[in-house]
Amino acid sequence: MGSLSIVGSIASDLFLPDETAAASAAAAARYADNVKGLILAVLSSAFIGTSFIVKKKGLRRAGNSGTRAGSGGYRYLLEPLWWVGMVTMIVGEIANFVAYIFAPAVLVTPLGALSIIVSAVLAHFILKERLQKMGILGCVLCIVGSTVIVLHAPEEKNPSSMEQIWYLATQPAFLLYTALAAAVSVVLMLHYSPRYGQTNIMVYLGICSVIGSLTVMSIKAVGIAITLTLEGINQAGYFQTWVFAMVAITCIIIQLNYLNKALDTFNTAVVSPVYYAMFTILTIFASAILFKDWSGQSASDISSEICGFITVLSGTVVLHSTKERDLTSNSDQYTPLPPRIFWHVQGNVEVGKRMNDSDFITLVRQDHFT
């Protein structure tokens, strides 16, 4: 009996080092992937933050010679400066796309706060949108919060095939989230956007953020498919790969359309933090449902990530509170008024008559009458 235990002990000593070495190698590989994702996410934020400013200047130029994007115009498509900003954003999004391949969404998405800092600083110098002292505090909070999240980011466990991703995506919890996201987006686009899009920043950015969370999940799935294909496991034969690709393309087009409307209508330093905050919340929530990013993490790490996330959101709120809606960029002095106007006439004529806006020739900017 004693000899058997000795043999078992020797066997365990022989095999344990190999298992330990394999586990250490896997952990080192995941850490290296996280570092790659971190670097790409930072570069992405720099490009995207810059693109906001360049696109805003292009939208202003286009608005000076035609219908503004915020009013439904597409003249900006003929403006070269807008295309420079667009190319810059595409470069940033490609870097962001690759970052999601290497690192979990819980790490990559919060680093988008850096794009807020870039856009806020550039808007101060280029667009002359003043960055106040509280705005600087907001930038610092964003940096601190992002650092905390990076230090406690989870190690991601990627699915090994498109079939596994499809299985995760068709679970009831994620299907419910997808259905709610689609329903909210349709209501915002068809009902609220025509009525309140020009006056409430949450309408356009709500559409961008809700759709954006689905974009990230689709891009993450496509990124995994590309990675597996490059490793020799071809994923192009799965119809799920093309479904995720089509969803990603559709969502990106919708995002860009409504982001242009938001940039053309509101101050850039307001658009960036509000969009970031809403987009980050929904993306992390969607990722937690689909990929179970927090599964296996300790309570202290999860608490640290939540604290870092709250710090980042606090920074975005501070940035938002220091800015007013950008009215000076609206060169169109004849902003559309509500479809019906109530007017009162004293005397023996009818009181409280309602008329359509087609009965009026023009009124100068509605904010002059508030």
Q: Give tens-digit pLDDT for 204-227.
A: 999 999 999 999 899 888 988 888
Q: Is the same domain home to 166 and 234?
A: yes
Q: Is the same domain home to 196 and 317?
A: yes
What's the distance, Cα to Cα, between the start and end of the chain in Å? Answer: 94
On whether residue 232 sits in a domain, the answer given is yes
On whether residue 277 sits in a domain, the answer given is yes
Q: Is the same domain home to 154 and 219?
A: yes
pLDDT recorded at residue 267? 77
On whether residue 334 sits in a domain, the answer given is no
What distance in Å separates the CA atoms of residue 310 and residue 349, rounded to the nearest whole number? Answer: 59
Q: Is the same domain home to 116 and 166?
A: yes
Q: What is the mean pLDDT of residues 243-259?
A: 93
pLDDT recorded at residue 331? 41
- What separation in angstroms does the CA of 300 have from each of 85, 105, 148, 286, 294? 41, 19, 12, 22, 12
- What separation in angstroms does the CA of 85 have from each of 43, 260, 266? 15, 11, 17
pLDDT recorded at residue 106? 72
pLDDT tens-digit readout, 80-110:
998 999 999 989 988 988 888 788 777 787 7
Q: Is the same domain home to 96 and 219?
A: yes
Q: Is the same domain home to 209 and 352?
A: no
pLDDT recorded at residue 352? 45
From the CB of residue 161, how many other CB atoms can be counted at a distance below 10 Å?
15
pLDDT tens-digit readout, 106-129:
778 777 778 878 887 888 888 877
On whether residue 333 sits in a domain, the answer given is no
Q: Is the same domain home to 22 and 135?
A: yes
pLDDT tens-digit readout, 271-325:
877 787 788 778 878 888 888 767 777 888 888 888 888 887 787 777 667 654 4
What distance in Å separates the CA atoms of residue 96 and residue 207, rounded to the nearest whole number? Answer: 20
- The answer to whether the beta carbons of residues 16 and 85 sit under 8 Å apart is no
Q: Is the same domain home to 233 and 359?
A: no
What distance in Å separates the CA atoms of residue 65 and residue 288, rounded to the nearest whole number? Answer: 46
Q: Is the same domain home to 242 and 175?
A: yes
Q: What is the mean pLDDT of residues 65-87?
A: 82
- The answer to whether the beta carbons of residues 333 and 323 sit under 8 Å apart is no
pLDDT tens-digit readout, 150-167:
677 666 566 778 888 899
On whether residue 291 sits in a domain, the answer given is yes
Angle at CA of residue 52, ends 48 and 57, nearest 5°: 145
Q: Mention every residue, 6+ apart, whose C-beta is less than 8 A from residue 284.
A: 105, 106, 109, 110, 293, 309
Mean pLDDT, the chain, rounded, equals 77
pLDDT recorded at residue 156? 59
Going by the DSSP 8-state scheme, the letter that residue 346 receives in this structure is: -
What distance in Å separates the CA atoms of residue 309 and residue 66, rounded to the nearest whole number? Answer: 41
What distance in Å separates the CA atoms of residue 2 and residue 349, rounded to the nearest whole number? Answer: 113
pLDDT tens-digit readout, 337-359:
444 444 444 444 444 444 454 44
Q: Which domain holds residue 346?
A: 340-369
Collect contacts of 349-352 with beta carbons under 8 A, ≥24 apart: none
Q: Is the same domain home to 138 and 185?
A: yes
From the CB of residue 19, how many other CB atoms can be counted at a distance below 10 Å?
10
On whether residue 127 sits in a domain, the answer given is yes
pLDDT tens-digit readout, 21-39:
777 777 787 788 888 888 9
pLDDT at 329 over 50: no
Residues 222-256 as b or e (16 or more Cβ within 10 Å = b): bbbbbebeeeeeebeebebbebbeebbeebbebbb
- Dihedral (C-alpha) 196, 200, 203, 206: value to the nearest 10 degrees? -170
pLDDT at 5 over 90: no
pLDDT recorded at residue 25? 78
pLDDT recorded at residue 9? 52
Q: Is the pTM of this model over 0.85?
A: no
pLDDT confidence band for 363 (50 / 70 / 90): very low
The helices-and-strands tally (H runs, E runs) of the chain is 12, 2
How many independent structural domains does the chain possess?
2
Nearest to 31 by CA among 196, 175, 203, 153: 153
- Residue 355 pairs with which residues in a beta bridge? 341
Q: Is the same domain home to 257 and 138?
A: yes
On whether residue 158 sits in a domain, the answer given is yes
On whether residue 327 sits in a domain, the answer given is no
Q: Is the same domain home to 10 and 106?
A: yes
Residue 60, classified by CB atoms within 10 Å of its CB into exposed (0-12), middle (13-18) or buried (19+), is buried
